Structure 1
Amino acid sequence: MSAHTMRIDPRQLATLVGSRLCHDLVSPIGAIGNGIELLELSDDFPGLTQTPEMRLIADSVSAAQNRLQSFRIAFGHASSDQSITTAQLKKLLSGMMAHRRIKVDLIAYGTFPHDHIRMVLLATMCLEHALSKGGNVTVRHSETGWKLTADAEETRADTALWAWLDQTETPPQRNPSPSPSEVQFLLLAEAAADCGRALSWELTGRGAGIAF
């Protein structure tokens, strides 16, 4: 290989891998969902789909499908020339938090760039991490940008983790290496930098907020 061979940016490579994984998982999970629907329509197994075991499978498949749709945007390749409507965003947020103890309210109107919605989903995942015992999240869009706020009886107040959202070279008290379940914090900071968006956050014992 030539020493001058162009190499792909690691961040772009990561988003392409994320897109590929989500794309390849959608089909088999969708097939399982279709199979469950066929069982529900069949007369050969009366009462089968109403058993606790089948309802658990059906609910799990539905939750996986909804999360995958959100993951495709949050962890996949985001193109600035693509757009997402408010109705689509509402469906993505609802699907992401389905079967969780978190209620999401969306206050937004219009159509938004794909890369901005990616930031919204990543920010929602950051708030989800803080609301380990459940709570409420409000996603609001205005002329000044996006503001996401969360409130709960108790939050996971890990300021060292949230310091990854600080857009400085050496933020104080930063976690050395987030776990896989915390990767959204790194990705949100990178996405904000790529979009040229200023990112701010706050975290208290009973609430959290992210704005950009």
Structure 2
Amino acid sequence: MSVFKDLSSLDLAALVASRVCHDIISPVGAITNGLEVLDEEGNEDMADFAMDLIRKSARQASAKLQFARLAFGAAGSAGAEIDLGDAQEVATGYMSNEKANLEWGLPRLLMPKNQVKLILNLLLLMNQCVPRGGTISISMAGDAQAPDFLLKAEGTNARIPQVVSEILSGQEPERIDAHTVQPIYAVLLAEEAGLNIGLSKDGDAVICKANTHVSASV
């Protein structure tokens, strides 16, 4: 049992909500700015720019919300299953606004919701490992009963953020806040799903494994 089990459900919910709001506030703010430009009289030259900004930001906000609904939300009742095709759709939408490209290699089948939520949360962690962009690939061996997930992030200066490495290895960070709650949530999801997470550096790539037998993160 991880040290994060001591985190109350109320605190966890509040921190996850803060994380989601942090992701959404930027595109929503951009929509507001675009509307303010449209409201200004005599600023017709900026109207097209403002509308483009509003459209782009609205799509981004929608993609982030749809992703958060599946990655962090209830996604059905206890014991529910999620279609990996739905997970691919929201992951593709989310990553369309990021620097890294996504290569989704998972089959379309129903899987326990916590396993699917874990994959989406691991995608967020891998995205942090390639801050300058690159490619993130996701694949799976085995079957729905005994999955063996593999995520690989390749890019310039690929690295494992220290706080992510520490949290995935079971260490409690100095501060638990909206910035550190996501990897904590991933650890808790893995425990609920009966999977272990391993994270390692391999040349210009970061490798993440999630299965029932992987060793501790390094």
TM above 0.5, one fold? yes
Pairing 1:55–2:37 present: no
Q: Give the conservation status (yes or no) of the 8 Å contact 2:128–2:161.
A: no
Cα distance per residue 1:135-184 (max 9 Å; x no partner): 100111220421111100112442343121124xxx5xx64225523422
Provide the residue aligned with 1:77 in structure 2.
74
Alpha-carbon distance between aligned partners in 2 of 1:76 and 1:166, rounded to the nearest angstrom: 25
Q: Give the conservation status (yes or no) of the 8 Å contact 2:15–2:181.
A: no
Provide the residue aligned with 1:11 in structure 2.
9
| Compared CA separation, residues 105 and 165, structure 1 to 2 (3 A) | same
> Following TM superposition, by how much is the alpha carbon of 1:14 offset from its aligned partner in structure 2, in angstroms?
3.1
Gaps of 5+ in 2: 1-6, 36-43, 211-218
Q: Give the conservation status (yes or no) of the 8 Å contact 2:159–2:206.
A: no
| Compared CA separation, residues 114 and 13, structure 1 to 2 (3 A) | farther
Moved more, 88-97 or 73-82: 73-82
Pairing 1:158–2:129 present: no
Provide the residue aligned with 1:139 in structure 2.
138
Alpha-carbon distance between aligned partners in 2 of 1:189 and 1:118, rounded to the nearest angstrom: 11
Q: Which amino acid aligns with 1:133?
A: R
Alpha-carbon distance between aligned partners in 1 of 2:56 and 2:150, rounded to the nearest angstrom: 31
Q: Which amino acid aligns with 1:158?
A: P
> Following TM superposition, by how much is the alpha carbon of 1:191 offset from its aligned partner in structure 2, in angstroms?
1.1
Alpha-carbon distance between aligned partners in 1 of 2:133 and 2:198, rounded to the nearest angstrom: 23
Alpha-carbon distance between aligned partners in 2 of 1:108 and 1:18, rounded to the nearest angstrom: 26
Alpha-carbon distance between aligned partners in 2 of 1:154 and 1:178, rounded to the nearest angstrom: 27
Cα distance per residue 1:74-96 (max 9 Å; x no partner): 22235552222232121111111
TM-score (norm 2): 0.69
Alpha-carbon distance between aligned partners in 1 of 2:207 and 2:116, rounded to the nearest angstrom: 17
Instruction: Give the alignment's Cα RMSD to 1 decimal.
Output: 3.3
TM-score (norm 1): 0.71
Q: Give the conservation status (yes or no) of the 8 Å contact 1:153–1:206.
A: yes
| Compared CA separation, residues 142 and 126, structure 1 to 2 (3 A) | same
Matched residue SS, 1:123? helix
Alpha-carbon distance between aligned partners in 2 of 1:157 and 1:62, rounded to the nearest angstrom: 30
Gaps of 5+ in 1: 1-8, 37-46
Matched residue SS, 2:150? strand
Alpha-carbon distance between aligned partners in 1 of 2:78 and 2:185, rounded to the nearest angstrom: 16
| Count of aligned residue pairs for this structure pair | 180
Q: Give the conservation status (yes or no) of the 8 Å contact 1:15–1:76.
A: no
Q: Which amino acid aligns with 2:138?
A: V
Alpha-carbon distance between aligned partners in 1 of 2:61 and 2:163, rounded to the nearest angstrom: 30
Identity %: 17
Alpha-carbon distance between aligned partners in 1 of 2:11 and 2:155, rounded to the nearest angstrom: 36
> Following TM superposition, by how much is the alpha carbon of 1:97 offset from its aligned partner in structure 2, in angstroms?
1.0
Pairing 1:181–2:179 present: yes
| Compared CA separation, residues 12 and 209, structure 1 to 2 (3 A) | farther
Cα distance per residue 1:64-113 (max 9 Å; x no partner): 11111111222223555222223212111111112211111111112222
| Compared CA separation, residues 18 and 165, structure 1 to 2 (3 A) | closer
Pairing 1:114–2:117 present: no
Q: Which amino acid aligns with 1:120?
A: I
